[in-house]
Structure 1
Amino acid sequence: MPVPDSIFSGSIPENYDRYMVPLIFEPYAADVARRAAALEPRRVLETAAGTGVVPRFLLPLLPAGSAYVATDLSAPMLDYAASVLPDPRLRWQTADAQDLPFHDDAFDLVLCQFGAMFFPDRIRAYREARRVLEPDGRFVFAVWDAIERNDFADEVGHALAAMFPADPPRFMARTPHGYHDVALIEREVRDAGFTTVTIDTVTAQSVAPSALVAATAYCQGTPLRGEIEARDPSALAEATVRAAAAIAARFGDGEVRGRIQAHVVTASG
């Protein structure tokens, strides 16, 4: 399978936004935006905002006069996001979700889409979300279900395990898909002080114009790239091709469609 030079172009934020966002993040950004808009918030904080996919869906649904603060630890991610989505209601700010630089009761909604899995201390981050929420505010966040319930990620993982049998790159299974136990999630959210917790498991469809695009998303648009290159700096193209072949073997040539599944959590109190 030939690999176009274009898959190696662009910064990490650009590749993340070009490949990963439409592949797996947009369906859940739309879902989270609908949930958020139903609450009619006027002061919104998002943590781990990445390249800003949630505000693209949520800002058009917010009441007039609303304010939105989108934060992330990565300044390059936020710089890219700001270039894609300039909006006077939206402020981009570098911040740690575990140590938020905001006053108590500053927001009526806190959002986090697919960031909690990366927090070194999740309960601390959840406590910070509760602290900056007004008493009747809501905390809405999404995390991925197990990798076995996310088709393309699972196929990529198997392909790379076959390529590096002595030391398989496990980033996807270990981190993005490593925090999927709903009982653990609810317990940690309650340990942070929230008294009402609901968890919905949401299944959606991941669509890519080709298996190569799907494979490129994972091998080029995530920290999986670093794990591949750490094992063999020259192996990125071969890894991408192998991952694409694995996806194509299961889902066919041309446009590919696979299941994605995540948990969406709403907490209050």
Structure 2
Amino acid sequence: MAPHDALLGWDEDTTAEAYAEFTRKFPMYGATSSDLAHRAELTSSRLVVDLCGGAGATAQAILELVPASAQVISVDNAAAMQRVGRRIVSDPRLTWVTAAAEDLADHVPSGADAVVCNSAVWKTQVPQVLAAVHRVLRPGGRFVFNIGGGFAGVRHPDEVNTRTGPSLNALILQVAADDYGYIPPAVPQSSPKLSLDVITKQLANAGLTLLSTEVTAQHSTMAEKKAWLSIPVFARPAGGFTHTQRMDILNKAYVATTPDTPTVTSWLVVLAQRPW
């Protein structure tokens, strides 16, 4: 069977538990969430939305910055992720709403000071989400989100300069080919799914003003990359593999690396605003 769908696969208990364990053990989601929350300037906020909030890693970062009287609403369409999140993040200021990102404005009151979305906007119907964000934000309210470097077509210099050997993804494909006769499907050369030019136009069409962008680098290790690829929705390669087979391939590929080998992931960070 094919890998878990990037949307439907999240609403599975095994994925939710594995993801939550990863966020507790490794810094990637905590660090990116903290970065976005600080960019949103939340110190005087009254209402903040954590969009595609999953198990609450970003909500935690938001809660650390907003006033004691603020309200935070975490919106995600995966009930399994939110079940785990409710167990981990306990704060009376936090409300969980199970809904699609595109339906944000139907579930959240208008007048939000900020909407924060970590590692997920490219999985949505982006024009619809941007229109919903515009409806929810107060004039002057901020929308802060990031786009994975591969989806945005950007690479931080650190990602290029840190490479010391084949990536874990490349090793996975090699093991799959050697042990399982895997032939990767031919993928035609295409433009990035959500480049800066595309997102700039879509923000403008939604009535949002682009304030700034930055390509950032998230530094981690091969051990963290392996743990991330062990989460069912991220397990590779695609094709007719069971999850057990994918973990066998991952473990064999990982043997060809060392746990402390540095890895770098690039992100395009975008700050937009509803005009005054």
Q: Same fold (TM over 0.5)?
A: yes
> What do residues 200-257 of structure 1 show as CA deviations (whole Å, max 9, x unaligned)?
11123124xxx45531321x214133765833454123222133135x1xxxx34332
> What do residues 56-90 of structure 1 show as CA deviations (whole Å, max 9, x unaligned)?
22212111200000010100001101100110000
Q: Distance in 1 between matches of 2:204 and 2:44?
A: 24
Q: Distance in 2 between matches of 1:79 and 1:169?
A: 39
1:74 is matched with which residue? 78
1:11 aligns with 2:14: yes
Q: What is the letter of the counterpart of residue 170 of structure 2?
A: H
1:204 touches 1:261 (CA, 8 Å); kept in 2? yes
Corresponding residue to 2:240 among 215, 222, 230: 230
2:114 touches 2:143 (CA, 8 Å); kept in 1? yes
Q: Distance in 2 between matches of 1:198 and 1:58?
A: 20
Greater displacement, 56-65 / 226-235: 226-235
1:47 is matched with which residue? 51
Q: Distance in 2 between matches of 1:99 and 1:71?
A: 10
TM-score, with structure 2 as normaliser:
0.77
1:242 is matched with which residue? 252
**Within 5 A, what are the aligned runs for 1:56-205?**
56-100=60-104, 101-102=106-107, 105-119=110-124, 121-146=125-150, 149=155, 155-162=167-174, 163-164=176-177, 165-167=182-184, 179=193, 181-205=195-219
Q: Distance in 1 between matches of 2:251 and 2:223?
A: 7
> What do residues 190-209 of structure 1 show as CA deviations (whole Å, max 9, x unaligned)?
222213342111123124xx
- 1:103 Cα shift? 5.8
Provide closer, same or farther for how the CA distance between residues 138 and 240 of structure 1 changes in structure 2, counting only shifts above 3 A: same
Give the percent of matched residue pairs that are identical in Structure 1 and Structure 2: 21
Q: Distance in 2 between matches of 1:264 and 1:92?
A: 25
Provide closer, same or farther for how the CA distance between residues 102 and 233 of structure 1 changes in structure 2, counting only shifts above 3 A: closer
Q: Distance in 2 between matches of 1:155 and 1:63?
A: 42
1:5 is matched with which residue? none
2:53 touches 2:117 (CA, 8 Å); kept in 1? yes
- 1:168 Cα shift? 5.7
Q: Distance in 2 between matches of 1:63 and 1:45?
A: 14
Q: 5+ residue gaps in structure 2?
A: 1-12
Q: Distance in 1 between matches of 2:95 and 2:268?
A: 27
Q: Distance in 1 between matches of 2:232 and 2:247?
A: 15
Q: Distance in 1 between matches of 2:209 and 2:244?
A: 51
Provide closer, same or farther for how the CA distance between residues 75 and 83 of structure 1 changes in structure 2, counting only shifts above 3 A: same
Helix, strand or coil for the counterpart of 1:198?
A: strand
Helix, strand or coil for the counterpart of 2:74?
A: strand
1:31 is matched with which residue? 35
Equivalences, count = 243
2:227 is matched with which residue? 216
Provide closer, same or farther for how the CA distance between residues 213 and 262 of structure 1 changes in structure 2, counting only shifts above 3 A: closer
TM-score, with structure 1 as normaliser:
0.79
Helix, strand or coil for the counterpart of 1:184?
A: helix
